[in-house]
Structure 1
Amino acid sequence: MTPELRPYCLVCDAIALLFQPYAEVVLHDLATETVVQIAGNFSKREIGEASLLSEIGFSQGEAIIGPYEKVNWDGRSIKAISAVLRNADGKAIGVLCINADVSDFHAALRTLNALVRVPIDADKPESLFKEDWHERVNEYVQQWTVARGLTVSSLSRNDKQALVIALSADGAFGGKNAASYISRILGMGRATVYKYLSQGSAP
């Protein structure tokens, strides 16, 4: 191994240890074009084997290559990035490759997408939502906050007062126990809701 590459062996070990079991780090020596260090090995490569740097499109003028995609021997998806290592004179002496196994994350994304996806042509059942004022209140609050760049949890006292008045103007308090429900979702007492309502209706 080129002596100047030895300190990078510890870097390889540290990265692989931090992200185990999802990261493999491979150090290539350009003097011999061989693999000189592998940490977190899941590619079944071996120290001393040919680097095959053409696989990552290595050229002398590059510094960072990637990120790019690869496929592991077992079919798992790999996201990789490579860094060209240079000595004090600027000469390229090695390439450090970090391979991240992202297969589990892809699987998790597919599961999440399946859970949250609703068919495009799926309408809300009219019989279920026809009289559901809870749903109408929820949608109104969501639209009101989004339009102002807010969230329910971040509403100030003045924001809540303005929202209560806006809900009242749109008839949201017509449902039975609506005041109690609105007070709960806005995190304040029912008496405060009635106070805001009285202030909003005052001449």
Structure 2
Amino acid sequence: MQTNAELLLHRYASVADGIALLFSDYVEVIIHDLESQSVVHIANNISKRNIGDPAALDDVNFEQTEAVIGPYEKLNWDGKKICSTSVVLRDDQNTPIGMLCINMSTAPIEAAREALELLLPMKNLIPQPEKLFHDDWQEKVNSFIHLWLANMNLTIPTLSRKDKRVLVEALYEEGAFKGKSSADYIANVLGMGRATVFNYLREIKNKI
């Protein structure tokens, strides 16, 4: 008859290995045997634990009725943060016999975030300088189009021919076609031919 540890290894060791292989150097998967309260399998060891080490499940607040616990945060041996999720493993009688813990090192992600924060001058942003943007018709056209799209719950790629006709009319009423080459710009933004935009404008003006 198989022991709980043997059953855990037979059923779940390959699962642990597969998860760890998929996420390369950033994820460790450990299988704990609840009967012996010890580690029975480690895939991609980043925590410097050993087979047979105490399971140390007290930090998981494990309850018998739970199936998935987490994600929760803890510190690795090097002081870096780890994000963990634990899955309760059960036998054929639905009795908890083990825990599969997935530990992901978040240090590379945090380093990338810090690098992006250095590159993006969000803290130093100021309102658009009036002296630069008061005549920027392209900026105004962009703002109007995306506000209109948001209100209509649409995107440029999903616009039908009828939608584009309605949007061109809304832009005309907003005065968007007063700028130099504005018709060409709007045609490019909406993915329309220049001639089509001018046809729409003629129809709109005739209707008025």
Q: Secondary structure of the residue that 1:141 maps to in structure 2?
A: helix
* CA-based RMSD: 1.9
Residue matched to 1:4: 7
Query: In the TM superposition, what is the alpha-carbon distance from 1:116 to its structure 2 partner?
Result: 5.2
2:24 counterpart of 1:17? no
CA separation in 1, counterparts of 2:167 and 2:120? 29
Distance 1:112 1:46, change over 3 A: same
Of Structure 1 and Structure 2, the greater helix share is in 2
Q: Secondary structure of the residue that 1:137 maps to in structure 2?
A: helix
Residue matched to 1:105: 109
Q: Secondary structure of the residue that 2:104 maps to in structure 1?
A: strand
TM-score, with normalisation over the residues of structure 1? 0.92
Q: Secondary structure of the residue that 1:97 maps to in structure 2?
A: strand
Q: Mean alpha-carbon deviation: is it higher for 37-46 or for 111-120?
A: 111-120
Residue matched to 2:93: 89
TM-score, with normalisation over the residues of structure 2? 0.90
CA separation in 1, counterparts of 2:168 and 2:19? 52
CA separation in 1, counterparts of 2:70 and 2:145? 44
Q: Secondary structure of the residue that 1:59 maps to in structure 2?
A: coil
> Any stretches of 5+ residues in structure 1 without a counterpart?
none
Residue matched to 1:187: 191
Matching residue within 125, 128, 137 for 1:133 = 137
CA separation in 1, counterparts of 2:123 and 2:9? 56
Q: Note the 1:30-179 alignment, pairs <5 A.
A: 30-112=34-116, 115=119, 118-119=122-123, 122-179=126-183
Query: In the TM superposition, what is the alpha-carbon distance from 1:126 to its structure 2 partner?
Result: 1.1
Query: In the TM superposition, what is the alpha-carbon distance from 1:92 to its structure 2 partner?
Result: 1.8
Query: In the TM superposition, what is the alpha-carbon distance from 1:28 to its structure 2 partner?
Result: 0.7
Q: Per-residue displacement from partner, 1:150-203 (whole Å, max 9, x unpaired)?
A: 112221111111111111111111111111111111111111100011111223
Contact persistence 2:39–2:51 (CA under 8 A): yes
Q: Secondary structure of the residue that 2:102 maps to in structure 1?
A: strand
CA separation in 2, counterparts of 1:115 and 1:156? 38
